[in-house]
Amino acid sequence: MSLRASVLAVDVGGTSLKGAVVGDDGRFLYQQMVPLGGERGEAIFERLRDLLDRLRQEAALRGRPAGAAAVITPGMDDRGSVMFASNLGWRDMALRDRLENHLSLPVATGHDVRTAGAAEARFGAARGARDFAMVMLGTGIAAALFANGQPIAGARSMGGEFGHMPVIPGGELCPCGQRGCLEVYGSAGGIVRRYRAAGGDPSLTAAEIAGAVGTDARAGKVWREAVAALGQGLVILTMLLDPALFVIGGGLAEAGEILLVPLRDALRAGLLWRAPPPLAVSTLGGSGALLGAAALGFERIGLGASVEEWGGGME
Ligand SMILES: [Zn+2]
């Protein structure tokens, strides 16, 4: 395998596919985002296949032929299949086999949030931490739990569904069918929906609602309830896992101190007899998941040694 190889990395989400051609030095040589407009099931697979074909052409144009592809998704198990991913409409999707057949290239697969968490541990905010949780606050909420340096996937790869922990018993209905789930209150999607339901300006994003807390009573109430629910969830994780830190990622993390200051207060208030773990914002941001995916791809083709050197080159 040439040292000038690249990996075609794709992060599959419910609203977009994010792709990159990543060199063996960890640099992104080309990036492309494909928005999804309500496609589900097989239609998303077709968009993914087309994106990988395009990335492969871009890699070749740059003289960095693809040695592997690496695709991360929600619900991915350790055998390259997605048992169930509600927001993709995928059920028993044998993704790795299908993509290897199409591309005639080795394909690495991973769970999206656990891959992003592993990247933070290797190259980002959780560097050196063996026990930590990566918490993604986006349209929904998910977490990746790491214990003794290893991600906890669970018996059926369904671990880390932090957003569907029922933090408010008998609370508001979640689209999953349960009541009082954390993401009903604490996700960006939940904050926007609850603010609109309270009669707030329907054009505001979650970050804008957070910014209006001092001047808009509806925003203040929805935001306080979001922070209280998130704090309750982190208190429970702290008691279970005793993490060295929490890394907060996803779109809502961009609210920065507006989120972190009250969340630290909520964590302190909920943990009376032990010190709360520190909260850190992801330093890799949206690139973390793709970087982690690319690492899986290089490892799949025996180039893991070059991945070991990426840490030194990242800020
Ligand atoms: Zn739920």
How many angstroms separate the alpha carbon of residue 161 from the centre of ligand 1? 9
Q: How far is the CA of 111 from the centre of ligand 1 (A)?
A: 19
Looking at the fold, whether 140 and 268 belong to one and the same domain comes out as: yes
Same domain, 95 and 137: no
> Cα(293) to centroid of ligand 1, in Å?
27
Residue by residue, what is the 3-state secondary structure of the chain? CCCCCEEEEEEECCCEEEEEEEECCCCEEEEEEEECCCCCCHHHHHHHHHHHHHHHHHHHHCCCCEEEEEEEECCECCCCCEEEECCCCEEEECHHHHHHHHHCCCEEEEEHHHHHHHHHHHHCCCCCCCCEEEEEECCCEEEEEEECCEECCCCCCCCCCHHHCECCCCCCECCCCCECEHHHHHCHHHHHHHHHHCCCCCCCCHHHHHHCCCCCHHHHHHHHHHHHHHHHHHHHHHHHHCCCEEEEECHHHHHCHHHHHHHHHHHHHHCCCCCCCCEEECCCCCHHHHHHHHHHHHHHCCCHHHHHCHHHHCC
pLDDT band at 311 (very low <50, low <70, confident <90, very high): confident
Greatest C-alpha distance within the chain: 61
Compute the distance from residue 306 Cα to the ligand 1 centre, in Å.
40
Give φ, ψ of 98 to 5 degrees.
-65, -40
Q: What is the 191 CA–ligand 1 centroid distance (Å)? A: 14
Q: Does residue 255 sit within a domain? A: yes
- CA 139–ligand 1 middle distance (angstroms): 13
Q: 20: CA distance to ligand 1 center in Å?
A: 31
For residue 107, the model assigns a pLDDT of 98
Domain of residue 257, CATH code = 3.30.420.40
Residue 233 CA, ligand 1 centroid: distance in Å: 13
State the number of CA atoms in the 13 A half-sphere of 179 facing the CB. Answer: 5
Shared domain for 136 and 26, answered yes or no, is no
CA 273–ligand 1 middle distance (angstroms): 30
Q: From the CA atom positions of the chain, what is the Rg in Å?
A: 20
153 CA distance to ligand 1 centroid (A)? 19
Q: How many domains does the chain have?
A: 2
Alpha carbon of 261 to ligand 1 centroid (Å):
26
Tokens linked to 180: 């009082």
CA of 184 to the centre of ligand 1 (A): 7
Indicate whether 312 pLDDT > 70. Answer: no
Mean pLDDT of 161-188: 94
Nearest in space to 255 (alpha carbons), one of 137, 164, 154: 137
Q: Is residue 1 part of a domain?
A: no
Distance (Å) from CA 187 to ligand 1 centroid: 11
Give me the domain span that covers residue 216: 128-281
Q: Does the global pTM surpass 0.75?
A: yes
Chain segment 18-47, per-residue pLDDT in tens: 999 999 999 999 999 999 988 999 999 999
Q: Are residues 112 and 189 in the same domain?
A: no
**61 plus 154 within the same structural domain:** no
Residue 305 lies in a domain: yes
Whether 24 and 154 map to the same domain: the answer is: no
Whether residue 123 lies inside any domain: the answer is: no
Instruction: Output the CA 160–ligand 1 centroid distance in Å.
Output: 13
**Domain match, 139 and 26 both:** no
Do 19 and 78 lie in a common domain?
yes
Give 244-295 pLDDT, tens digit per residue.
999 999 989 988 899 999 999 999 999 999 999 999 999 999 899 999 999 9
Q: Cα of 179 to ligand 1 centre, how many Å?
A: 7
Pairing state between β 245-249 and 279-281: parallel
Q: Does some domain include residue 122?
A: no
269 and 197 share one domain: yes
Residue 4 banded pLDDT, cuts 50, 70, 90: confident
For residue 24, being part of any structural domain is answered with: yes
Q: Is residue 71 part of a domain?
A: yes
Q: Phi-psi region for residue 267, left (φ > 0), alpha (ψ -120 to 50) or beta?
A: alpha
Q: Do residues 147 and 217 share a domain?
A: yes
Is the predicted pLDDT of residue 203 greater than 50, yes or no?
Answer: yes
Token pair of 21 as six digits = 């051609």
Co-location of 237 and 97 in the same domain: no
Please tell me whether residues 231 and 301 are part of one structural domain: no
d(CA 289, CA 99): 19
The structure tokens 């329907």 sit at 202
The CA distance from 112 to 290, in Å, is 9
Q: Whose CA is closest to 26, among 99, 124, 94, 166?
A: 124
Q: How far apart are CA 295 and CA 293, in angstroms?
A: 5
Cα–Cα distance, 126 to 120 (Å, whole number): 5
Tell me the β-bridge partners of 166: 181
